[in-house]
């Protein structure tokens, strides 16, 4: 069993981007600029946005963090997005989700210019992913997983991948990307969800399992074939009195019992999580290169 080390892979990608940025600087080209919008004071959201800004700083991107109080009006947010769309110095725009209930996430996402939508949530970018159009943006988590597979030379062609979950953010895009005629890709893909019957039997056939349902330790050892590749997208806080913090982070996979059967498996934390940052930075770099 080999750990798919997302931290290490992400760092390798960030190091490469750092060199690419330096090269752009040396040749007088524009430096990528990410604008992030954070609404309210949700702790997890703050942590996520901070880690994105930190990654920008580390590799030499320009970043702008725009913070609003929970009560900000939808109109004010949309106006800011319009301003950022028109601002030639900004290459990528992200709005940290979730947003307060009085604001339509859909309206906000669709207000972001398709060419600056580095989170890849705009329907047009989703459609471009379906069409494998190279200038679209693939959202950070699925793109990060594809990068993790690629950098660790996981063979996917002709393999049977089972995706647990059909969320717009992870499950659905993963099923599309893995079945595309690409490398990584070219898998036979089965999408499973809450209505799936015989889930165990289906998982047992999988060469690759993507677990993205948000149910702690859902995937058990008897559902996994010997030698499978397991990618764990889940991350849930569960109480753990043995920890100083009083909790631990748990994925969708019963890691302790599943890991020994796997050829490759991602840990939680330190697997998919760090890859999303690397993917977002790659998208921002791409936006900058494409907009010039």
Q: Please, which of residues 115-154 interact with a second copy by CB under 8 A?
A: 122-128, 130-131, 133, 136
- Residue span binding a second copy (CB under 8 A) among the ranges 68-76, 166-174, 221-229, 232-240: 166-174
Which of 176, 177, 258, 280 forms a contact with a second copy (CB under 8 A)?
Answer: 176
Judge contact between 107 and 74, C-beta under 8 A: yes
Is residue 196 a contact point for a second copy (CB under 8 A)? yes
Judge contact between 100 and 41, C-beta under 8 A: no
91 is catalytic: no
Return phi, psi of residue 284, to 5°.
-65, -40
- Residue span binding a second copy (CB under 8 A) among the ranges 6-14, 144-152, 157-165, 254-262: 157-165
Tokens of 204: 């047992």
Q: Least distance from C-beta 139 to a second copy, angstroms? A: 11
96 is catalytic: yes
52 is catalytic: yes
Peptide bond into 269 cis (omega under 30): yes
Instruction: Provide DSSP, 89-156.
Output: T--EEEEPSPPPTTS-HHHHHHHS-GGG-TT--SHHHHHHHHTT-TTS---HHHHHHHHHHHHTT---
Catalytic residue (choose from 117, 119, 207, 232): 119
Helix (H) or strand (E) holding 258: helix 255-258
Is residue 106 a contact point for a second copy (CB under 8 A)? yes
Closest CA to 119 of 109, 128, 129: 109
Between 61 and 218, CB nearer to a second copy:
218
Which of 197, 226, 256, 292 forms a contact with a second copy (CB under 8 A)?
Answer: 197
* Pairing state between β 236-239 and 188-192: unpaired
- Interface residues toward a second copy, by CB under 8 A: 106, 122-128, 130-131, 133, 136, 157-158, 160, 166, 168, 172, 175-176, 179-181, 186-193, 195-198, 202
What amino acid positions are annotated as catalytic residues? 52, 96, 119
């Amino acid at each position: 069993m080999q750990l798919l080390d997302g931290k290490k892979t992400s760092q390798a990608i960030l190091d490469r981007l750092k060199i690419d940025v330096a090269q752009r600087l040396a040749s007088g080209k524009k430096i990528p600029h990410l604008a992030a919008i954070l609404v309210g004071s949700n702790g997890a959201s703050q942590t996520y946005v901070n880690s994105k800004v930190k990654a920008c700083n580390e590799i030499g991107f320009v970043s702008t963090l725009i913070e609003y109080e929970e009560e900000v009006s939808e109109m004010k947010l949309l106006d800011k997005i319009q301003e950022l769309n028109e601002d030639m110095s900004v290459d990528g725009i992200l709005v940290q989700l979730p947003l307060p209930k009085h604001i339509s996430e859909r309206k906000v996402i669709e207000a972001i210019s398709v060419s600056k939508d580095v989170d890849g949530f705009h329907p047009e970018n989703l459609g471009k992913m379906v069409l494998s159009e190279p200038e679209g943006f693939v959202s950070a988590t699925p793109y990060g997983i594809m990068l993790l597979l690629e950098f660790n030379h996981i063979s996917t062609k002709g393999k049977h991948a089972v995706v647990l979950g059909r969320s717009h953010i992870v499950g659905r895009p993963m099923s599309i990307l893995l079945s595309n005629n690409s490398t990584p890709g070219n898998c036979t893909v089965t999408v499973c969800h809450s209505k799936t019957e015989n889930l165990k039997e289906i998982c047992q056939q999988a060469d690759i399992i993507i677990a993205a349902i948000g149910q702690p330790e859902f995937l058990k050892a008897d559902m996994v074939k010997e030698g499978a590749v397991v990618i764990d997208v889940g991350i849930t806080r569960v109480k753990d009195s043995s920890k100083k913090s009083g909790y631990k982070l748990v994925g969708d996979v019963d890691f302790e019992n599943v890991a020994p059967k796997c050829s490759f498996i991602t840990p939680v934390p330190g697997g998919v999580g760090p890859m999303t940052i690397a993917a977002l930075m790659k998208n921002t770099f791409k936006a900058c290169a494409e907009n010039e």
